[in-house]
Amino acid sequence: MKPQAVARILDANLDRAREGLRVLEEWFRFGLEDASCAGECKAMRQALARWHSDPLRFARDTPADPGTQLSHPQEVQRRDLNHLLQANCSRVQEALRVLEEYGKLAEASHWVAPGLAKLAQDMRYRLYTLESELLGGSLRQRLAQAHLYLVTSPVPHWLDAVEKSLRGGVTLVQYRQKTLSDSEKLRDLRQLRQLCNQYQALMIVNDRVDLALISQADGVHLGQTDLPVPCVRQLLGSHKLIGLSTTNAEELAQALAADVDYIGVGPVYPTPTKAEKPAAGLEYVRLAADKAHIPWFAIGGIDTQNLWQVREAGATRVAVVRALMEAPDPTQAARLMLGELLPPGLPTFT
């Protein structure tokens, strides 16, 4: 047994857990304005601080610690807010596990009073729930701010069209590709993930839960004949986004009762993307405007020429394919559409 080594381990992980909790607390406080969760993080920090006694601090020997020179490339950069939050959730959970295990050893040897191991265990289980609330809250907050949703199509230079749309203010992109092999889709998704990270946009995968998980997408979009929502939620977890297409009042009611984060409403106009489906029309848009209590996107044949009609029917969010993917200037087209959609006082990216 090396009491000095155990003391150094406890000291380092008390520091690590408290630092990570502070990062999470700040986003709960300022990003999500969630006083309850921010207060819970603060209470956990203070509870750990009471165990951070002088004997543990005095055991610290930073110059002789070989671990200060070890790092991983992912620790040097944060690709987006979600990555930052997830990294710090993991940091706290790992530190709490170390405190739990070495705390048992220290308690058995009477180097620390009983209670540290149990405290760390209880906190670790609570962190799993907080992580879901934190990451889910972050994604859903960004979803609530999205007004123009781009669904990709297999046009030449499709990624270039996506980037130009992102420059125009698009903040939500769905990858939809039916003809490529899985390996080709995964290649596309990895490129799209980098692009969405660069522009701080959400990335959704059409239908495929497996590809969404592998590509670290922010969620999936489901059709009426895809996997049931409860199964998808079980696979994705509570913090990822799920969207569901609807075409009529019955499907809308079922979607509103399901565990989804947003709804597609349409097709509003005839569209080759859904050639087999008759247009639901503006009346269905008016119904969604009256009934929906979660974000919803009108979709189907919407472009810069008819957007005003959809807007007058009550839509404040729309999803488009050809209007951007096949536009001569996707950046300008996105700006024009956002100028019509964004509430007064918000930037129009012009």
Residue 274 is a catalytic residue: yes
Q: Which residues contact 182 (CB under 8 A, 6 or more apart)?
A: 211
Q: How far apart are CA 125 and CA 130, in angstroms?
A: 9
DSSP of 256-281: HHSS-SEEEE--SS--GGGTTS---H
CA distances from residue 258 to 124, 232, 243 in whole angstroms, order as listed: 30, 12, 10
Is 240 an annotated catalytic residue? no
- At 309, the amino acid letter reads Q
* C-alpha 257, offset from chain centre: 22
Residue 84 DSSP code: H
Q: Which of 164, 240, 274, 335 is catalytic?
A: 274
104 is catalytic: no
CB 148 within 8 A of CB 318: yes
Q: Which of 193, 215, 245, 335 is catalytic?
A: 245
Residue carrying the six token digits 């996105």? 334
Single out the catalytic residue among 16, 176, 286, 322.
176
Per DSSP, 67 falls in state G
Residue indicated by tokens 């309850």? 36
User: Which residues, at least 6 apart from 59, have a Cβ–Cβ distance to it below 8 Å?
Assistant: 4, 7, 8, 11
| Cβ atoms within 10 Å, residue 328 | 6
Residue pair 263/253 in contact (Cβ under 8 Å)? The answer is: no
DSSP β-bridge partners for residue 150:
173, 320
Beta-strand relationship, 262-265 and 296-299: parallel
Structure-block tokens of residue 234: 């079980």
Which letter, b or e, does each residue of 235-249 get, where b requires 16 or more Cβ atoms within 10 Å of its Cβ? ebeebbbbbbbbbee
**DSSP string computed for 95-109:** HHHHHHHHHHHHHHT
Reading the block at residue 185, the tokens are: 């889709």
Report phi then psi at 158, rounded to 5. -60, -35
Q: Which residues are catalytic?
A: 176, 245, 274
